[in-house]
């Protein structure tokens, strides 16, 4: 039962066996009924013939049988039997084949022949028919003078059922052997048919086996595939395509991580080597330690973002449901970047409603807002403008954060959600702080998790806008 071939063969064999068995049973029942009906009709006909031979003459009853008439009722191997009774139960006549024996007599009286199985005097199985009748009257004046009433007689005629039993036994054997042979032939034929029918599965399995783990570019050939397998082949090709893209992303992601970690590690090593190359003043050591600390903090932020992205990809982030004051949260997150905005002489414009409450995860919403505000303060040109606008629309809280000074092309806007994409100099911040291109990809994953969305757009004049929709 573990193979499809076995299941198909077993299922079809059982189905064929049931159909043939039921058909054979129905056929046997019909033939059996016909044989017994013919047998009973023959007994009834003989009973009526014998009843016609009885004549009543006054009070006398006569059975008009010659010595050589009806030889089938004389003692012999295939003898038949009859017996007459009066209404009082007295035996009027019996066939010579009975000898001293008697046929069974039913107390039920009916004008119609009554058939029943019986045991014959010689011990063999037989069948008996019994009728109740009024004998034929003698046509003369004596009956009128004596005024005798018609007598009522009972006649039983019996005959062995050996021939019918043999015929039915032969029919049962024939049907049983025929069913068994038909099932065997069906299994053999079906085995060949199923084997041929399952060959496409073998071919698909062989093609899948040829696909190596290092090359997922191969695809299954749908030509010549049965219609039932075509959807499976199509889905497998789609799966291979998705796996190929996923593996390509993973390889690129691994290479990007290695590349991004190599640069700060090299800077950290270079700073330490220079500091240790000769004796320096305490201020120089403090400067080197501060620089190393800054590099370590940047690497820590990158690793934390990578960890959050990995958890989001694996579906391991749990989302809490709580009431969040989006305006208060937005202002609280801005406090971390207000000093830097002041240092860079940025013009910050706020457009906020009186209140905006949403149901969301406070920690994850805070992380999204911090990344967006950090992005705006970092990439705005010195002396530029940052606009933070919040409003309700279509049952959602819509947050727009726009900054000037961006030279990201309109065609490259959506690339900001690609991990480690920084657009070369187009998105390089001022100063020595190094960016890793993980903030906005993390925001996109978190907003999907929160049931919202995040989009970006660029406009002529260098305005870069991030739109975040929180479900209210």
- Does residue 421 share a domain with residue 290? no
The band of 100, judged by pLDDT with boundaries at 50, 70 and 90, is: confident
User: Is residue 104 domain-resident?
Assistant: yes
Dist CA 315 CA 124 (whole Å): 84
| Confidence at residue 419, expressed as pLDDT on a 0 to 100 scale | 66
Q: Which helix (H) or strand (E) holds 63?
A: strand 60-63
- Does residue 395 share a domain with residue 288? no
- Does residue 334 share a domain with residue 289? no
**What is the CATH classification number for the domain harbouring 394?**
3.30.565.10
- Does residue 303 share a domain with residue 379? no
- Does residue 416 share a domain with residue 290? no
Last residue in a domain, options 115, 150, 168: 168
Last residue in a domain, options 266, 290, 312: 312
pLDDT averaged over the chain? 82
User: Is residue 214 domain-resident?
Assistant: no
> Do the Cβ atoms of 214 and 228 come closer than 8 Å?
no
Q: Is the pLDDT of residue 432 over 60?
A: no
User: Is residue 220 domain-resident?
Assistant: no
Residues 6+ apart with CB under 8 A from 131: 44, 47, 48, 51, 110, 111, 112, 113, 114, 154, 155
| Confidence at residue 378, expressed as pLDDT on a 0 to 100 scale | 85
- Does residue 158 share a domain with residue 32? yes
Q: How many domains does the chain have?
A: 3
Top-confidence range, 167-171, 243-247, 322-326, 453-457: 167-171
Q: In what order do the strands lie in the sheet with 347-351?
A: 347-351, 385-393, 396-403, 463-471, 453-459
| Confidence at residue 144, expressed as pLDDT on a 0 to 100 scale | 44
What pLDDT, in 10s, does the model give residues 197-219? 777 888 888 888 878 777 777 78
Helices assigned H by DSSP within 53-161:
141-146
The model's pTM: 0.50
- Does residue 324 share a domain with residue 277? no
**What is the CATH classification number for the domain harbouring 258?**
1.10.287.130
| Confidence at residue 424, expressed as pLDDT on a 0 to 100 scale | 44
Last residue in a domain, options 278, 312, 346: 312
- Does residue 92 share a domain with residue 234? no
- Does residue 134 share a domain with residue 15? yes
Q: Which helix (H) or strand (E) holds 458?
A: strand 453-459
- Does residue 333 share a domain with residue 280? no
- Does residue 375 share a domain with residue 394? yes
| Assigned token pair, 31 | 């033939």
Dist CA 351 CA 284 (whole Å): 46
User: Is residue 176 domain-resident?
Assistant: no
User: Is residue 81 domain-resident?
Assistant: yes
> Do the Cβ atoms of 130 and 118 come closer than 8 Å?
no
User: Is residue 406 domain-resident?
Assistant: yes
| Assigned token pair, 179 | 């069913």
- Does residue 364 share a domain with residue 283? no
| Confidence at residue 431, expressed as pLDDT on a 0 to 100 scale | 45
Structural domain range at position 32:
4-168
């Amino acid at each position: 039962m573990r193979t499809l071939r076995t299941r198909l063969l077993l299922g079809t064999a059982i189905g064929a066996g049931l159909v043939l068995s039921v058909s054979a049973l129905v056929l046997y029942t019909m033939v059996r009924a016909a044989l017994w009906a013919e047998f009973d009709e023959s007994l009834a006909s003989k009973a009526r013939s014998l009843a016609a031979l009885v004549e009543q003459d006054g009070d006398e009853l006569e059975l008009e049988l010659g010595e050589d008439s009806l030889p089938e009722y004389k003692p012999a191997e295939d003898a038949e039997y009859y017996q007459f009774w009066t209404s009082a139960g007295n035996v009027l006549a019996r066939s010579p084949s009975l000898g001293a024996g008697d046929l069974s007599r039913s107390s039920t009286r009916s004008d119609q022949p009554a058939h029943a199985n019986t045991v014959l005097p010689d011990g063999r199985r037989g069948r008996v028919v019994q009728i109740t009748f009024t004998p034929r009257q003698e046509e003369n004046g004596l009956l009128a003078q004596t005024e005798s009433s018609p007598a009522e007689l009972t006649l039983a005629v019996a005959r062995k059922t050996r021939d019918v039993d043999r015929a039915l036994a032969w029919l049962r054997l024939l049907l049983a052997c025929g069913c068994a042979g038909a099932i065997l032939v069906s299994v053999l034929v079906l085995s060949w048919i199923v084997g041929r029918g399952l060959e496409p599965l073998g071919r698909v399995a062989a093609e899948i086996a040829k696909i190596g783990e290092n090359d997922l570019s191969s695809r299954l050939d749908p030509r010549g595939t049965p219609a039932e397998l075509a959807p499976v082949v199509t889905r497998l090709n789609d799966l291979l395509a998705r796996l190929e893209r996923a593996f390509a992303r993973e390889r690129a992601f691994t290479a990007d991580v290695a590349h991004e970690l190599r640069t700060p590690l090299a800077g950290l090593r270079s700073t330490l080597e220079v500091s240790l190359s000769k004796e320096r003043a305490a201020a120089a050591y403090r400067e080197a330690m501060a620089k190393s600390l800054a590099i370590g903090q940047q690497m820590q932020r990158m690793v934390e973002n990578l960890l959050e992205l990995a958890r989001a990809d694996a579906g391991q982030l749990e989302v809490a449901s709580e009431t969040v004051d989006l305006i208060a949260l937005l202002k609280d997150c801005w406090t971390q970047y207000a000093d830097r905005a002041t240092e860079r002489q940025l013009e910050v414009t706020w457009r906020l409603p009186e209140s905006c409450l949403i149901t969301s995860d406070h920690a994850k919403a805070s992380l999204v807002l911090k990344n967006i505000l950090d992005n705006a303060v970092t990439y705005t040109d010195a002396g530029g403008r940052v606009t933070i606008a919040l409003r309700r629309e279509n049952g959602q809280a819509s947050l727009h954060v726009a900054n000037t000074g961006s030279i990201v092309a309109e065609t490259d806007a959506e690339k900001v959600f690609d991990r480690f994409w920084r657009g070369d100099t187009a998105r390089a911040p001022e100063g020595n702080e190094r960016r890793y291109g993980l903030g906005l990809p993390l925001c996109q994953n978190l907003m999907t998790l929160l049931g919202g969305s995040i989009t970006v757009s660029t406009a002529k004049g260098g305005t870069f806008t991030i739109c975040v929709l929180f479900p209210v």
